[in-house]
Amino acid sequence: MLVPSLLNRTLVMTKRVSRRWRPRSLPQLVLLAFLVVMLPLGVVMFQAGQALSELSRLADVSARQAIEETRRARQLSSLALEMERSARQYAVVEQESLLDIYAERHAEFDELLAQQRRLLPGNSDVQALEEQLLLLSQLPELEPEALDVWLSLFGPFAQHTDAMRQATNQHIDDRIEMIRAQAVAVQSRLWLQTGALVSASLTLMLLFSWLIIRPVRQLERRILGIGSGVDGAEAEDIQGPAELVQLGDRLDWLSTRLNDLEAQKQQFLRHMSHELKTPLASVREGSALLTDGVAGELSPRQREILSLIDSSGRELQRLIEQLLDYNLLQHNQRVALAQVDVATLVMTTLTKHRLALEQKRMRVTAFDGPLEWVIDPTAVGRILDNLVSNAIAYGHDGGDLLIRAHAGHERLVLDVANSGEPIAEVDQPRLFEPFYQGRSRRKGPLKGSGIGLSVAADCARLHNGRLQLVEDRELEVCFRLTLPRQSVPLSSSDNNRKPLEAGMDARSD
């Protein structure tokens, strides 16, 4: 619980600081992040260097002291032997020069023992040596009994000297062990400091990464909002380096500009549809009057020309409606679901194209109903209308048009197939792109707009479904519409509605 609360407090403080202070540029923020992140690592390196220097100095001093103390202990042992040798030689030959040597060695031993006393304060062997050294300071008279007692003092003297040397060695070993323990303690302290400072560096890295990534994510959300058309006035302000803030301002300008252009496009399409449909209605009405013989009887050749004018007018009206449908789908991404008999919707679509089908002499095969499914009838009607129109435009004269359906437990599969020239493989990946026209040429006086299949694919996506080109065993071209099962919003009149039927697969001529 402590770590998350500490992290939250850190983020809150960071936000407050970022509101008050903002780097002037992105390179400045990156350089500052590098310096701040490297600061704890530099502290670690400095502390490690200081600790290593201290250990090195301590080891050097201890080594010098150990050598000096060992040499002094050995000199004391050598002086004790020389004093004893000189004393015993004097007891035998009674030569005055031996007394001088003894006195010199005695003085040296006394001086070195004083130094050893500072190394080993309170040591019993040192104290015993001081007492014995005082007794050995003067030679007694040369009576045999007194001389033997005096010489017998050198035995304990040598033993205490050896014991002092061992105590010195033990003191050196203790000091070495102390240095080793100190080195271990320094190592542990360095590990703890390194862990803490490296953690601080990682925290700072995460913090500065967040400071750099946050405005980038804000820009990404802004771009996605502009691309999806949901960017509004409540868009969050970009907080970060000046370059990214300026880029956010540019995106605001771009969003405003795109909205203006979209409004102009909508107005243009509304005006153009009105301007095109009004004279087109007059042309179709005039051709209908002529066909009815209002202006007099027509010859068969004239009737053929009027039939061509009427079919071209219908085709032009269909292209205008496709363009309006495409524009509507780009801005209206909602569907009005209802439980609809798909077979009835198919028959309505075929009735709408009855004259064109008769003119093409196409044989139509559709499945029998009823087949109820939850769909948006307007959107699915657009899909069927575009697929049937596509089959009429590109299918063979006197060919076949097949519409079949299968309702499973989770999805509805609807196939619209026709005989005709197969779609080239090079055109298939871009078949549902808007305004794309493949290599196959449309039959008839008017060229298509290339948005019919794009409108159909968009309507399928509104249902979370899919429209795709598939291979068919019977006919050359087959489009398959797959729609998942969806629930329709219930009303007071929906409570007595029957459940959806599934597993239906039928055909009729």
As a whole number, mean pLDDT of residues 138-155 equals: 67
What's the rounded mean pLDDT across residues 288-310? 75
State whether 51 and 180 are in the same domain: yes
Q: How many Cα atoms within 13 Å fall on the side-chain side of residue 368?
A: 6
Q: Check whether residue 395 and residue 442 sit in a common domain.
A: yes
Contact 418, 395 (CB under 8 A): yes
In terms of domains, do 198 and 284 share one?
no
Question: What pLDDT, in 10s, does the model give residues 151-185?
Answer: 777 788 788 888 888 888 888 888 888 888 888 88
Q: Are residues 282 and 364 in the same domain?
A: no
Residues 141 and 198 reside in one and the same domain: yes
Q: Are residues 100 and 201 in the same domain?
A: yes
pLDDT digits (tens, 9 = 90+) for 398-456: 888 999 998 888 889 999 999 888 888 888 788 877 766 665 555 554 445 567 787 78
Same domain, 383 and 458: yes
CATH number at residue 424: 3.30.565.10
Torsion sign (Cα): 34, 39, 44, 47: positive
The answer to whether position 487 is within a domain reads yes
Is 284 in the same domain as 339?
Answer: no
Q: Tell me: pLDDT of 255 over 70.
A: yes
The pLDDT of residue 311 is above 80: no
Q: Which of 303, 332, 361 is the last residue of a domain?
A: 332
Q: Residue with structure tokens 């062997």?
A: 125
Q: 120 with 100, same domain? A: yes
Q: What is the dihedral of CA 279, 280, 286, 287, to 10 degrees?
A: 160
| Same domain flag for 323 and 351 | no
**Cα first-last separation, the chain:** 73
Query: Which comes out higher in pLDDT, residue 243 or 232?
Result: 243
Please state, in angstroms and rounded to a whole number, the distance separating the CA atoms of residues 338 and 341.
Answer: 10
In a domain, 244, yes or no: no
Select from 289, 316, 332 the last residue of a domain.
332
Measured from the Cβ of residue 27, the count of other Cβ atoms closer than 10 Å reads 11
Q: Does position 3 have pLDDT exceeding 50, yes or no?
A: no
157's tokens? 């003297």
What pLDDT score does 215 carry?
Answer: 79
Provide the total of helices (H) and of strands (E) in the chain, helices listed first: 12, 7
For the chain, percent of residues with pLDDT exceeding 90: 3
Whether the pLDDT of residue 294 is over 80: the answer is no
The total of structural domains in the chain comes to 3
In this structure, are 277 and 367 located in the same domain? no
Of 201-210, 239-248, 381-390, 418-427, which gets the smallest average pLDDT? Answer: 239-248
Per-residue confidence band for 500, with pLDDT thresholds at 50, 70 and 90: very low
356 lies in which domain range? 335-509
**Of 207, 231, 251, which one is at a domain's C-terminal end?**
207
Same domain, 304 and 418: no
pTM: 0.45
Query: Does residue 374 lie in a domain region?
Result: yes
E strand map for 37-151? none
